Amino acid sequence: MKILVPIKRVVDPYVKVRVKADETDVELANLKMAINPFCEIAVEEAVRLKEKGHADEIIAVSIGLKVAQEQLRTAMALGADRGILVEHDDALEPLSVAKVLKAVIDKEQPSLVLFGKQSIDGDNNQTAQMTAALAGMGQATFASSVDVDGDQIKVAREIDGGIQTLSLKLPAVVSADLRLNEPRYASLPNIMKAKRKPLDIVTVADFELQLGSHQKTLKVTAPAERSGGVMVGSVEELVDKLKNEAKVV
């Protein structure tokens, strides 16, 4: 089967972003960028499914700036067979991304669309679910294990208070949670090989989609800073502060 893995270029998760002085956005100039960590887990899972003989082709797809080719090459170094970049200069809302992905799904006809559960920039946690809705597929979000069995896929998913197991008819959408796997490091030979793998570049305009604007960001502000607290010298002092100053115990 064919697995489609949507991936997103985001700011490196270890970078602390700051809000721009004019409060229009966060400052992203010159920051280190990376493949969204949850997307990396999705790529890894697709590669494992291929290694187990369940998949024959893995396609990584990204929607965004030309430079997102870097993240597609990373996905290919990890084991994706080819990449598709749907180039677009402006940031797209999750619903628009889902519409573009639906168009890619129509063309590629994958059996499984394997997402990361959320991107660490917008923190929306929507695109997988929206894509599943538009494609008329079943969904299993927050997956912590995935088992393919013929034309069904069994997914254990993280829910509040425990784990739920679902069985989905393929084609289906799955979104990866943290515990699904631990992504491998790309080896140098694989990084070199990835450079020769096919990467198609198309544009959003090629899909003849009507992408409306559904929201407007009025401002982006810094959250209230917590005022610096105090260091206490001993457990006794801590207990005293909690009892008599903060009065929380």
Partner 1 sequence: MAILIIAEVDKQGLSADCAKVVGAASALGQDLHLLVASDNAATAAEQGAKLAGITKVLVADNAAYAHQMAEPVADLVLELAADYSHILAAASAKGKDMLPRVAALLDVAQHSDVIAIESDDTFVRPIYAGNALATVQSLDEKKVLTIRTSAFDAVAEQAPAEIHALDSVKSSELTQFVGEELVESERPELGAARVVISGGRGLGSGENFALIEQLADKLGAAIGASRAAVDAGFVANDLQVGQTGKIVAPDLYIAVGISGAIQHLAGMKESKVIVAINKDPDAPIFQIADYGLEADLFEAVPKLTELL
Query: Residue 151 is encoded by which pair of tokens?
Result: 């034309």
Size of the site for partner 1 (CB under 8 A): 81
CA distances from 88 to 74, 174, 193 (A): 20, 25, 27
Residues 57-76 touching partner 1, rule: CB under 8 A, are none
Integer Cα distance of 229 and 4 in angstroms: 48
Query: Residue 60 is encoded by which pair of tokens?
Result: 């990584």
The SS3 call for residue 163 is strand
Rounded to a whole number of angstroms, the minimum distance from the CB of residue 196 to partner 1 is 34
Residues 89-118 touching partner 1, rule: CB under 8 A, are 93-95, 98, 117-118
Rounded to a whole number of angstroms, the minimum distance from the CB of residue 111 to partner 1 is 14
The SS3 call for residue 59 is strand
Does the protein bind partner 1 through residue 32 (CB under 8 A)? no
Closer to partner 1 by CB, 33 or 199: give it: 33
Rounded to a whole number of angstroms, the minimum distance from the CB of residue 148 to partner 1 is 14
Residues 143-182 touching partner 1, rule: CB under 8 A, are 144, 154, 158-169, 172, 177-179
* Backbone phi, psi, residue 9, to 5°: -85, 120
Integer Cα distance of 182 and 164 in angstroms: 21
Closer to partner 1 by CB, 62 or 142: give it: 142
Q: What is the DSSP string of 137-151?
A: -EEEEEEEEEEEETT
Rounded to a whole number of angstroms, the minimum distance from the CB of residue 6 to partner 1 is 14
Residues 5-24 touching partner 1, rule: CB under 8 A, are 11, 13-14, 16-19
Rounded to a whole number of angstroms, the minimum distance from the CB of residue 236 to partner 1 is 7
